Structure 1
Amino acid sequence: MKISVLGCGWLGEPLAESLSKKDHTVKGSTTTESKIPKLEKKGIEAYLMTLEPDLNCENCESFWNADVLVLNIPPGRGRDNIIEYHGAQIQSVIEHLKSSDINRVVFVSSTSVYPKLPGVVEESDAIAGEAGRESGNALLRAESLLMDADEFNTTVLRFGGLYGYDRHPAKYMAGKTNLNRGKAPVNLIHRDDCIRIIEQIIEEEITGEIFNAVSDGHPPRKMYYSSAAEALDLVPPTFSEDTDKEYKVVSNRKLKDKLNYRFKYPNPMLLEQ
């Protein structure tokens, strides 16, 4: 297949490389000109592309000559109008899709779309405008724009917190004190599982679906961050007394049932070998 990856960052670049190794024709975008040779060396046709919020890219006609688009552009941080801005970015991509050969889109979303509900949350529990934070509301708006378009079919993947290789959540928590929500379960997923899930969605031509994608294990924050910090020779964080009981666990049941998926890293407590 011909697959375009819009957003070759920490997840998109290794995804594009993995797809290329499977003999797909892969095209990837980056906002950093110096990254172009690095992508090309990995067998990826590289394009310099920005979304500010309109899509800008010179000589990018062939980027849109593809069967599938993996859209991997998270909402920008620190903006007052994040919902409107990200919506405009997505709408600009949609306008290019309408006049392209692409008929399938895989959109990388996040479990931040869910409100702060206690208990187990499933795909139907996301409510427009009621996410726990504004980035989640921006993603819900983006999901809706893509799913409502008639010119192509979209599958949405709501990933939990990403970790793996050089990126581990414990590094950002090490040494911090008096943290809250120590009993709250983590909802994480390893980058390798993200890539395998996206590849399966593409290769099995699954469309029109929304999936949560988080690992099976949901250890409490206090246990997870403290144990991981010690394993990485970092100073463990400390947590305050926790009285909050409104914790959510993101369900991966639909993903496992429909894709018959089995996680490479089912438990985030187990560090990579």
Structure 2
Amino acid sequence: MKILILGCGWVGKEVAKYYVEKGWQVFATCTSQEKKNYLSALGLHVAVVNFDLKDSNSEFPTTFDYILNSVPASSKNSVDEISNRFEHVRQYIDNLKFRKQIYLSSIGIYPDQDGVFTEDYTEDLNERLLVAEQKVELTNSHIYRLGGLFGKNRIFAKYFANRICMTGDQPANFIHVDDVVALITKGFDSHLHYPIYNLVAPEHPSKRDVILASAKKYGFDLPLSFNSENSFQKIVDGSLIIKELKYSFKHSSPVTF
């Protein structure tokens, strides 16, 4: 069995480790020799590929069971740059044979405003993220829109230690990396009926409560203060994939991350 991970970052690495342990052949692309050396040491077949360039060929096989596409649609890039990058990604994928692709997008595609957002919401979507999704949307592909990613060494409180928190009253639309990996692997093994899924933990405590809980758990300093200036109540509904896969979250609330 073979899986290809395009743009193998933090989530990709965790997925790769899962499949290596299962005895699969894991192929991955990254953008630096240093990252290639690191991933190769984990047992992956790795190629340095820059999808911003037209010539992005590698010496990989052309047939895979699954493709995990985690090439980033970075906020530092313009819409045109993202369109160019993902046009090259699409051209690369078009030359492959595979059973299923999962593309990792972000719930940042939804506007920062009051409301409950499901996969059916189509107004005022982030253009950069939408362009990326549209470029890689294929008949045998699905889009996972990930919430804020935490777990392992990513601890929410450390980003606010001795700083002023302006977002404490906002609901947390977060997900633990363990649940992301489980939903990816389960998604590959299952028949998914919908093109797009939101991946967020089912509970949405305030970010203030998450900061206080994780600071206490991991020993980080508290914020200097909480300011409720940016307090829109945006909740992303992740119930569709829970029902689809009959999935029970390992970490149902961000206060326990």
DSSP 3-state at the match of 1:189: strand
Equivalents in 2 of 1:111, 1:250: separation in Å?
7
Q: Report the equivalent of 2:50.
A: 50
Shift of 1:37: 3.5
Evaluate the alpha carbon distance shift between residue 33 and residue 207 of structure 1 in structure 2; reply closer, same or farther with a 3 A threshold: farther
Q: Does 1:83 align with 2:79?
A: yes
Measure how far apart 1:53 and its partner are.
Answer: 4.4
Instruction: State the distance in 1 between where 2:68 and 2:228 align.
Output: 42
Q: How far apart, in 1, do the equivalents of 2:117 and 2:245 lie?
A: 19
Structure 2: give runs of 5+ residues left out of the alignment. Answer: none
Aligned counterpart in structure 1 of residue 143 of structure 2, from 152, 156, 175: 156
> Closer, same or farther in 2 for the Cα pair 1:257/1:208, shift >3 Å?
closer
Q: Could you tell me which amino acid in structure 2 is paired with residue 104 of structure 1?
A: K
Instruction: Give the alignment partner of residue 65 of structure 2, picking from 67, 73, 77.
Output: 67
Partner of 1:214: 200
Tell me the equivalent position of 1:199. Answer: 185
Aligned to 1:230: 216
Counterparts of 1:75 and 1:235, CA distance in 2:
32
On the 8 A contact 2:19/2:26 being kept in 1, the answer is yes
Matches within 5 A, 1:147-186: 147=137, 149=138, 152-177=139-164, 179-186=165-172
1:230-259 per-residue CA deviation (whole Å, 9 max, x = no partner) reads: 322222112124584x41111111011111
Pair 159,48 (structure 1): closer, same or farther in 2 beyond 3 Å: same
CA RMSD of aligned residues (A): 2.0
Q: 1:140 is matched with which residue: 108, 130, 135? A: 130
2:56–2:88 contact (8 Å) kept in structure 1: no
1:159-197 deviation digits (Å, cap 9, x = unpaired): 1000111111211111112x3232210110111111111
1:1-150 superposed matches below 5 A: 1-54=1-54, 56-57=56-57, 60-79=58-77, 82-127=78-123, 130-131=124-125, 136-147=126-137, 149=138
Residues 206-233 of structure 1, C-alpha deviations (whole Å, 9 max, x = no match): 3652110001121111222123223222
| Structure 1: distance between partners of 2:74 and 2:21 | 31
Cα deviation for residue 35 of structure 1 reads: 3.0
Which whole-Å deviations, capped at 9, do the CAs of 1:68-121 have from their partners, x for residues lacking one? 211102223433xx2221121111111122222234211000100111342321
- Are the aligned partners of 1:115 and 1:126 in contact in 2 as well (CA < 8 Å)? no
Partner SS for 1:249? strand
TM-score (norm 1): 0.86
Aligned partner of residue 156 in structure 1, secondary structure: strand
Q: Percent identity?
A: 25
Q: Deviations over 1:112-170 (max 9, x none)?
A: 0111342321111143xx23xxxx421111112222x4xx5210001100011111121
Tell whether the 8 Å contact from 2:5 to 2:29 is kept in structure 1 after alignment: yes
Distance in structure 2 (CA, Å) of the matches to 1:67 and 1:240: 49
How many corresponding residue pairs? 256
Gaps in structure 1 of 5+ consecutive residues: none
> Retained in 2: the 8 A contact 1:154–1:207?
no
CA contact (8 A) 1:109 1:157 kept: yes
